[in-house]
A and B are shown apart, each in its own frame.
Chain A
């Protein structure tokens, strides 16, 4: 399975390890160290899925989601990977394009499964314009 993943996380070590984990599964993973750079990435490039941390400096995860929604930017499904929230999807998150929440620490295999499920669902769905 292939796909481009944007990983927005300010922790470079964790981000690097997640990148490696997903790379082993054949995904292309691009890392953005904060929300602001993430916004720049999705404006310029196309991704199949975004893995988003919530607690970050400058533009944090929530702000990132609000800006994307406010600006009407195209964005792929979002999986939140964070330790700051409960592991359940709230209506607010759903409105902002969040499809899944993975509370840290995440099992590599579990994360891969979530990514595969989301990507599978996205590929079967009608691609957005």
Chain B
């Protein structure tokens, strides 16, 4: 550092060192990369290299070598075989010299004797090699030639050795073998005068290669032309050496290749340089490593499963071609078997790794669903499932049932019983077991009268499953008035429990040894089925909730809406699953975007809930309630719930409270005043006794009347709001009429019709359901208005007649009575709009002791009379 210039030192100090974490991350990434993508293929090719090295693929490689070489075309022979025929053998001792001279005259380059019995030749005109059997030296893998070899004179001795066959096939040969002091040349190499770099080499034996064979007597007789064997080596052999004894690529299963022919091919290969070597360990490792790395790289970028066939096939073809080329042009036999196997094994490994990882991911992902559904379902109470089965059966009218298990030892055990026991089974155990075995796995129960003949109402038995257990449900026929429905219910219960037991077995698969190997797919399938079933059940239950509810995800995307909310969306023209929460609020409320954003933000941060009025959609009055459930406040799966509460019930309850209070205020006030007045009067000394009696009687009468009125409203006060839909209670009739006229006025104004309403400012009380009454009066006014010509008059007359209150609505051009009767009487069929509503209301008001009548004729108008019960 001291040697650095100051500026460089500053640069150094200002330079941001690479964060250590990044280094760690990089190291981790590399490690993961190696483990995930490279290690497997490299280990596989390493194993293949080892297998190749120990000779595991010797036979297949050899066969492939044979296939590649036997079908090659032959070349001009460089060696001939000279058979020591009997005619030659019967000649004198100088026959070998004569033969060698003849061969030399023919141009033979070298002469070899496969047998060591070459007679004395003073001076050979050509180099001579004599094969001699070698003797193994004790305690080491070395050899020596016999002592006769030293007496050969100018002839060269060589070992008459043949490399061991490979799985019975002779396709290799040595050029030399280890000797006592120096290597001993093998006959073939010595005759060819070629010594390859590696002592062991492969001998290609093309089927089309000709190996000429001449008889020695033929040569000594001078039958051949001069220089006919120019540059060729001659191998002199005894007839025995021409006898087929060896299995070679030429005759792999017949043993028909002679030693002379094999050696001739070897000499030919050596002389032409067509011999081959097996790849060395290093060469094998390198090519395998290359293939492994290539495959790893391919599968790192691409999906191994989708390439599981194409990559190995293509690579195998490429490898075969490369191996053939290597053999053909370099004489190197690559580890072809290992190379051909590598793509398939690596691909298999990658697919296996991928599938295992997928399974692991799937299991990890599904485990929450599995656990959730498991914990939430009846399965968690697995031990109580039989009990549930019993109680469910009772609901279906099954009075007797017995859940039995067939144990592995063949015994029966009662798991759950309802008015039954094992002693009820009268069938012989052996016969029962046969029945149970037949039932196992069957979805159809069978009659069980023979099993439990004592059960009066007949019995049935069915297999229920239970994974590792073998459960059967024996039950009586449902004893109810609707046996058909009950039988159907029993079948549904059986099916449902069979599924529950199976799911439980699947989801608990890890706990049992026998099921530990259950594929994740089955578990996931069970979990998905269970979750889907429960979701469906929850959804159905959710749909029965009166209020409309939709659940939004944290990000504002809708998750689920019940039927009521779906209807609101449809009415509002919103797409259920494409409308976000802000868009929904924008459409359903009068809030602007900034207000909506602010309230959602507040909810997200602080939880709790917000209420806001909903725009009028249809006839309903609703209030929206947006809530962020607190129990999910700190979780990523936070949800927002939007609820549209129908305010009609609440309004109805409020109306009731108001009406009752009003009724008490007006009506009971009279009574209480009378009581008060009476009690004060009664204490007046000026009253005579008869007058006092009269006052007291009136007080009593008033008290009874007040009590009666209280009784009248007491029932209403105790009602729940949901019971008030059809409830009627004291209503200020004049108020209802006034409101109805106001509601109908917009249509009248639109059509230029005048409403002449004659009603008191303060009317009497009637007993009615104010909403229904109001809707009916509005509908009546609207149908009359609609039928009235412009500038015409629609009249409404309200008469308080004490015990009855009469409302008359009239006007219009006129509708024939028959037509009117049809419109109001057939509201369940063809009537529409207001007529339908009036028709329904006419049916409803009779419950309030009210009556509705109507009249009409064409061109004379039409109208309605509503007669209501007054409260005095």
A1-43 with Cβ < 8 A to chain B? 10-11, 13-14, 16-18, 20-21, 24
Min distance, Cβ B289 to any Cβ of chain A, angstroms: 105
The listed residue (A11, A54, A83) touching B665 by CB distance below 8 A is A83
Does B695 sit within 8 A of A, measured CB to CB? yes
Query: Do B677 and A18 touch across chains, with their CB atoms under 8 A apart?
Result: yes
Given contacts A13-B701, A55-B764, contact A83 B695 (CB under 8 A): no
Question: In the complex, what residue of chain B is closest to A17 when comparing beta carbons?
Answer: B677
Interface membership of A123, Cβ < 8 A: no
A106 to B114, CA, bound (A): 156
**Contact call A108/B687, Cβ cutoff below 8 A:** no
Hey, which chain B residues are within 8 Å of A106, CB to CB? 673, 677
- A20–B691 alpha-carbon span in the complex (Å): 9
- B764 and A105 form a contact (CB under 8 A): no
Contact status A105-B681, CB under 8 Å:
no
Give A105 to B674 CA distance when docked, in angstroms. Answer: 8
User: Which residues of chain B from 319 to 352 have a CB within 8 Å of any chain A CB?
Assistant: none
- The A-B contact count (CB < 8 A) is 81
Task: Tell me whether A44 is interfacial, beta carbon within 8 Å.
Answer: no
Residue interface bits B749-784, CB-to-A below 8 A is 1, else 0: 000000000001111100000000000000000000
Binds B, one of A57-65, A71-79, A93-101, A113-121: A57-65
Beta-carbon contact of B670 and A104 below 8 Å: yes
B673 touches A105 (CB 8 A): yes
B361 at the interface (CB under 8 A from A): no
CB distance from B604 to the nearest CB of A (A): 49
Say whether A105 contacts B672, CB under 8 Å. yes
Interface readout for B798-815 with A: 1 if CB under 8 Å, 0 if not? 011110000000000000
CA distance A84 to B687 in the complex (A): 31
Q: Report whether A21 and B764 are in contact in the complex, using a CB–CB cutoff of 8 Å.
A: no
From B665, B673, B686, A14 is in contact (CB under 8 Å) with B673
Contact of A17 among B666, B681, B763, B801 (CB under 8 A): B681
B698 at the interface (CB under 8 A from A): yes
- In the bound complex, what is the Cα–Cα distance between A56 and B765 (angstroms)? 10
Residue B300 at the A interface, CB < 8 A? no
Q: In the complex, what residues of B have CB within 8 A of residue A11's CB?
A: 670, 674
B686, A24: Cβ atoms closer than 8 Å: yes
B41 close to chain A: CB less than 8 A: no
Contact among B678, B694, B701, B801 with A58 in the assembled complex (CB-CB below 8 Å): B801
Interface string of B644-668 (1 = CB under 8 A from A): 0000000000000000000001100
B799 touches A21 (CB 8 A): no
Q: Output the nearest chain A residue to B669 by Cβ-Cβ distance.
A: A83
**Which residues of chain A are within 8 angstroms of B670 by Cβ–Cβ distance?**
11, 14, 83, 104
**Distance between Cα atoms of A60 and B568 in the complex (Å):** 46
Check: B870 CB closer than 8 A to any chain A CB: yes
B686 in contact with A20 (CB, 8 Å): no
Which A residues lie within 8 Å of B698 (CB)?
A: 13, 16-17
Instruction: Flag if B802 contacts A58 (CB, 8 Å).
Output: yes
Q: How far is the CB of B205 from chain A (nearest CB, A)?
A: 130
B702 within 8 A of A: yes
Assuming the contacts A11-B670, A24-B686, asked whether A84 and B762 have C-beta atoms less than 8 A apart, the reply is yes
Taking CB as reference atom, which chain B residue is nearest A83? Answer: B669
Q: How far is the CB of A35 from chain B (nearest CB, A)?
A: 10
Q: Which residues of B contact A10 (CB under 8 A)?
A: 802, 872
Residue of B684, B705, B760, B802 with most chain A CB atoms under a 10 A cut-off: B760
> A104 to B762, Cβ gap below 8 A?
no
Residue of A nearest to B804 (CB): A57
A10 CB to nearest chain B CB (Å): 7
Whether B764 and A57, one on each chain, are in contact in the complex, defined by CB atoms closer than 8 angstroms, is: yes
**Complex-state Cα separation, A82 to B64, whole angstroms:** 122
Residues of B within 8 A of A18 (CB): 677
Please name the residue on chain A nearest to B705 by beta carbon: A13
Contact indicator A55/B666 (Cβ below 8 Å): yes
Residues of chain A touching chain B, judged by Cβ–Cβ distance below 8 Å, are: 10-11, 13-14, 16-18, 20-21, 24, 54-58, 60-63, 83-84, 104-108
16 A–B pairs (Cβ distance < 8 Å), ordered by A: A13-B674, A14-B674, A14-B702, A17-B695, A17-B698, A20-B687, A20-B694, A20-B695, A24-B686, A57-B872, A60-B762, A62-B760, A84-B666, A105-B672, A106-B677, A108-B680
Known: A16-B698, A105-B673. 11 other contacts (CB 8 A): A13-B674, A14-B702, A17-B677, A20-B695, A21-B681, A56-B800, A57-B802, A58-B800, A60-B761, A83-B669, A83-B670
